[in-house]
Amino acid sequence: MASQRLGLAEESGPNPGESELAVNPFDGLPFSSRYYELLEQRRALPIWASRFIFLEQLESSPGGVVLVSGEPGSGKSTQIPQWCAEFALARGFQEGRVTVTQPHPLAALSLAMRVADEMDLTLGHEVGYSIPQEDCTGPDTLLRFCWDGLLLQEVASTRGTGAWGVLVLDEAQERSVASDLLQGLLQNARLGNLPGDSRVVVVTDPALEPKLQAFWGNPPTVHVPRRPGTCPTPVYRDTVPTDRVEAACQAVIELCTKEAPGDVLVYLPSEEEILLCCESLSREVGPLALRGPPPRVLPLHPGCGPAVQAAYEDTDLGARKVVVTHWLADFSFSLPSIRHVIDSGLELRSVYNPQIRAESQVLRPISKCQAEARRLRAKGVPPGKSLCPTEIKHEKNPHTQTQETCSGLLSQVFLPSGSCLCLYPKSFLELEAPLLPTARICEVNLSPVVLLLKRRQIAEPGECHFLDQPAPEALMQALEDLDYLAALDDDGNLSDLGVILSEFPLPPELAKALLASCEFNCVDEMLTLAAMLTAAPGFTHPPLSAEEAALRRALEHTDGDHSSLIQVYEAFIQSGADKAWCQARGLNWAALCQAQKLRGDLLELMQQIELPLSQPAFGSEQNRTDLQKALLSGYFLKVARDTDGTGNYLLLTHKHVAQLSPYCCYRSRRSPTRPPPWVLYHTFSISKDNCLSIVSEIQPQMLVELAPPYFLSNLPPSESRDLLNQLREGMADSSVESESSSTREFGDACVLQ
């Protein structure tokens, strides 16, 4: 048994007399004193009692699959990878290293840092991480934390996945596209190039355990004991507040006033509300008369980048931390210091509609599984105290309703122990919330997924094993879009072009535009545009002052938003990637830095594939035309026409009407001009104003020239389709006349000779 062969320091207590002699088997160096301090904390985790059982199951599992089921905060994400590394070490790493996937890049980064500290190893050497635009691994890396989307891209690529002895799929209950698809590929019998004698560990919340048991054929399951102590009973409001941000802020302020010990975790639906809440709290907690220092307000969302580590750091002089987040922290980012949770009960998600090729921003209740995970966050260390929910009556004055309601609740909730305040009635989740989070693979554009499956030689995407099967119409729409992009051949298999498209970590239409730039000699500009569209798509908020508005207008390009993005990037590089320069213009400095890294990665990939490059020519008339052609080669599906000259755009592929985004350069120009009659857009989102984002003017003749003829024929009946067909017929007649004229000239030349 692997557990019997291991002779690591975890098996015996820290003996002061022998600690200097104990050697870390992973790097051959003596353990530090901090290692033993952290070892005591690890032994206090609920999962520690399952260590030997897990190692035995990992060694003896007949199918090589082990399921680990436990509640959030029990230590699964930090301890399971270390035990898998011990298992691989006992086997001499003959099958390769240990790879651990996470559904969020920030979680992979954060866990790698924590586990390297616990194992007394160097981050970037024995323990590393791989996230978009950042690979902190080396030839000596034995334990690698990886964003699951990146590992999925590696699986699809001809460059291979690298050898791994143990693959840990963590947080399976989050149902990310990559996690579900990786499980499906591992289940599929035709997946031929993964390691043979490998192990797969699937880590999940108990709520998803029955589905995973059935999917994997009842593999050995390790059940993590529940944490000791009683979890706080949530206290509910009797109605949903009209202003969630105000209600959450009032709850935090009341908590700070009562000086209940412990840090606070606030759940709001969206990043916009997170930022509003942080700004409001930062203003309001300063003047409070508190005994200690004012609380430190910290946002936690994907845009935070490495700054997310601030949530784990000890604050100066014992200041309380107030962490404001959303669904990102439902299962990831366990913070032991959290003692109080304020939950809005909602999440804002993008849901793709294949029938209209558009995303909708859907505000919906969280699942019961998520609500339970949020409640468990309040256990803290030590665990919180059990409380009884109390009904609170509202005052009739609507202006004081939110404040007085929260105050009445908080007077009963925020005791010296932990607490969980739900800003919604108990019936809200019982009647409207699903049991489990919705599988993301059922809510996204499946074109990248189908492209990957075709790359894995799975001819029919419906044949792949899925935990939840996507809708047939979503798969059919994805196949149709890939066919339009020439990614499929006449037999429905991946074409040579499709193989190259699958190499890029980009949506298929953007990858096609990048490849087309090789033909139209605008690779340098399309590399910049691809990086910006992926990482830093322009301004995120209205200008805060006239000075900022003027600085923004200086970055706008007359050709539209796409050229403006290129201009922004070039100005950013010329500024020396200066953070103050970005702040003065309302630009996201971290996103622009990420775009710079992504552009370098894309350039390196094109060089590896040996695709032709071109010299910079941005600003010339020829480059302007070439760039439009490259964009249209990939985005002909995303074209709209202004039907009445007032900015009401009818989308070609369906009869939805949309307007330009408030951040579009055509709307921010001073002189009133007629909106461009034909535009190409990057995204269309069904929201309160149905906006087209990242828009540039195009010529319909160019669309007819570059789009597949059968695409134009398949458009729904409209005046726009009729105009395009007339243009196509006129261009065909001109072509015939030109050929006829050339024939006559050739014939005359023969006679003269």
Q: Are strands 199-204 and 263-267 parallel, antiparallel or unpaired?
A: unpaired
Write out the DSSP string of 613-664.
-----TTSHHHHHHHHHHHHHHHTTSEEEESSSSS-EEETTS--EEEE-TT-
Residue 64: burial class (beta carbons within 10 Å; 0-12, 13-18, 19+): middle
Helical (H) or strand (E) element with 365 = strand 358-365
Three-class SS state of 222: strand
Q: Is the peptide bond before 507 cis (omega within 30 degrees of 0)?
A: no
Tokens matching residue 666: 């055509």
Q: Which amino acid is at 333?
A: F
Q: At a CB cut-off of 8 Å and minimum separation 6, what does 135 contact?
A: 128
Between strands 639-642 and 657-660, the pairing is unpaired
- Please write the tens of the pLDDT for every residue from 465-516: 889 999 999 999 999 999 999 999 998 889 999 999 999 999 999 999 999 9
Answer whether 375's CB lies under 8 Å from 232's CB. Answer: yes
Distance CA 100, CA 112 (A): 10
- The confidence score (pLDDT) of residue 281 equals 92
* Ordered DSSP codes for 34-94: HHHHHHHHHHTSGGGGGHHHHHHHHHH-TTSEEEEE--TTSSHHHHHHHHHHHHHHHTTTT
Sign of the dihedral through C-alpha 107, 110, 111, 112: positive
* Residue 638 to residue 445: CA distance in whole angstroms: 14
The SS3 of residue 388 is coil
Half-sphere exposure of 652 (CA within 13 A, CB side): 27
Residue 68: predicted pLDDT:
97
What pLDDT score does 531 carry? Answer: 96
Q: If 0-12 CB within 10 Å is exposed, 13-18 middle and 19+ buried, where does residue 362 land?
A: middle
| Torsion, Cα of 205, 207, 209, 215 (10° steps) | -120
Instruction: Identify the helix (H) or strand (E) that includes residue 128.
Output: strand 127-131
Whether the CB-CB separation of 252 and 437 falls below 8 Å is answered with no
Determine the Cα–Cα distance for residues 542 and 563; give it in Å rounded to an integer.
20
What do you get for the CA distance between the two ends of the chain, in Å? Answer: 93
Using a 10 angstrom Cβ sphere, with 0-12 exposed, 13-18 middle and 19 or more buried, the burial of residue 95 is middle
Residue positions counted in the chain: 753
Q: What is the pLDDT of residue 688?
A: 62
CA dist 451 and 453 (Å) reads 6
Q: Mark the ranges of the chain whose per-residue pLDDT is less than 70.
A: 1-21, 95, 157-163, 189-196, 228-230, 259, 289, 313-317, 380-417, 458-463, 540, 669-673, 688, 733, 735-753
Looking at the DSSP bridge assignments, the partners of residue 146 are: 101, 130
323-336 pLDDT tens trace: 999 998 898 887 87
Reading the block at residue 34, the tokens are 């901090």
**Residues contacting 606, CB < 8 A, separation 6+:** 514, 523, 527, 613
Whose CA is closest to 681, among 691, 694, 663, 690? 694
Nearest to 434 by CA among 345, 550, 563: 345
- How much of the chain exceeds pLDDT 90, in percent? 53
- Residue 560 to residue 571: CA distance in whole angstroms: 16
**In the prediction, which pLDDT does 32 show?**
93
The CA distance from 72 to 207, in Å, is 11
Q: Do residues 9 and 82 make contact, with C-beta atoms less than 8 angstroms apart?
A: no
The pLDDT assigned to 462 comes to 65
Pairing of strands 346-353, 639-642: unpaired
CA distance 693 to 681: 6
3-state secondary structure 150-214: HHHHHHHCCCCCCCEEEEEECCHHHCCHHHHHHHHHHHCCCCCCCCCCCEEEEEECHHHHHHHHH
Strand arrangement, sheet containing 221-223: 134-136, 127-131, 143-147, 97-102, 164-169, 199-204, 65-69, 221-223
Closest by alpha carbon to 525, among 570, 572, 574?
Answer: 570
Residue pair 227/46 in contact (Cβ under 8 Å)? The answer is yes
Distances in whole angstroms, Cα of residue 496 to Cα of each of 367, 568, 638:
43, 34, 24
Question: What pLDDT, on a 0 to 100 scale, did the predictor assign at position 670?
Answer: 56
**In the 8-state DSSP scheme, what is residue 343?**
E
**CB within 8 Å of 474: residues ≥ 6 apart:** 352, 354, 442, 446
3-class state of residue 321 by DSSP: strand
Backbone angles phi, psi at 398, to 5 degrees: -65, -25
pLDDT of residue 464: 77
Dist CA 70 CA 47 (whole Å):
8
pLDDT of residue 738: 60
Phi-psi region of 681 (alpha: psi -120 to 50; beta: other; left: phi over 0): beta
* Residue in 134, 160, 162 with CA at minimum distance from that of residue 147: 134
Give the C-alpha separation, 627 to 629, whole Å.
5
Element spanning 403, H or E: helix 401-413
Q: Which pLDDT score is estimated for 258?
A: 80
Q: How do residues 7-47 score in pLDDT, each as one tens digit? A: 455 554 555 444 456 899 999 999 999 999 999 999 999 99
CB contact at 8 A, 106 and 308 = yes
